[in-house]
C-alpha cells in the first residue's frame, strides 16, 4: 500500500487509538472491542481499514484473531517525514552561499 491509504487510515481518531493500544503488544479483536463504546461491527470495520493500509497484521489462532502493529510502515513514514525536518536549515545554507557569491 501507499501513503494515501496509510494517511487515510491514520486520519480517524478511533484507528489511532487502536494503534496506540497495540503499542504494548498484540491484542485480540475482542479485547480491542471491549475498550470502545461502539459496536463490534464498527470496531471490525476500523481493524479492516488498518489492515488494508498494512498498519496491522492479523493472526488467527483457534477461534481468535489477534492484531499486531506493522512497525515497518511506521518506519517508512518516519523516513519520508524526516526529509522535511531540516528544510529550513537547508534554505538558510543556500541563502548564506548566495550572499557570499554576490
Tell whether domain 3-101 is in CATH 3.40.50.300: no
Q: What pLDDT digit, counting tens, does each position of 50-79 carry?
A: 999 999 999 999 999 999 999 888 888 888
Q: What pLDDT digit, counting tens, does each position of 24-49 carry?
A: 999 999 999 999 988 989 999 999 99
Distance CA 80, CA 65 (A): 31
The C-alpha torsion from 51 through 56 and 60 to 65, rounded to 10°, is -80
The yes-or-no verdict on residue 90 having pLDDT over 70 is: no
In the chain, domain spans: 3-101
Is 67:32 a contact under the CB 8 Å cutoff?
yes
Residue 3 makes CB contacts below 8 A (sequence gap 6+) with 77, 80
Residue written as cell 488498518? 50
pTM over 0.95: no
Amino acid at each position: 500500500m501507499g501513503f494515501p491509504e496509510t494517511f487515510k487510515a491514520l486520519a480517524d481518531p478511533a484507528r489511532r487509538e487502536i494503534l496506540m493500544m497495540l503499542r504494548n503488544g498484540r491484542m485480540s479483536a475482542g479485547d480491542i472491542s471491549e475498550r470502545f463504546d461502539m459496536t463490534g461491527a464498527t470496531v471490525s470495520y476500523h481493524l479492516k481499514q488498518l489492515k488494508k493500509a498494512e498498519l496491522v497484521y492479523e493472526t488467527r489462532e483457534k477461534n481468535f484473531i489477534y492484531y499486531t502493529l506493522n512497525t515497518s510502515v511506521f518506519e517508512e513514514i518516519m523516513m519520508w517525514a524526516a526529509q522535511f525536518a531540516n528544510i529550513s536549515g537547508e534554505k538558510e545554507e543556500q541563502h548564506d552561499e548566495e550572499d557570499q557569491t554576490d
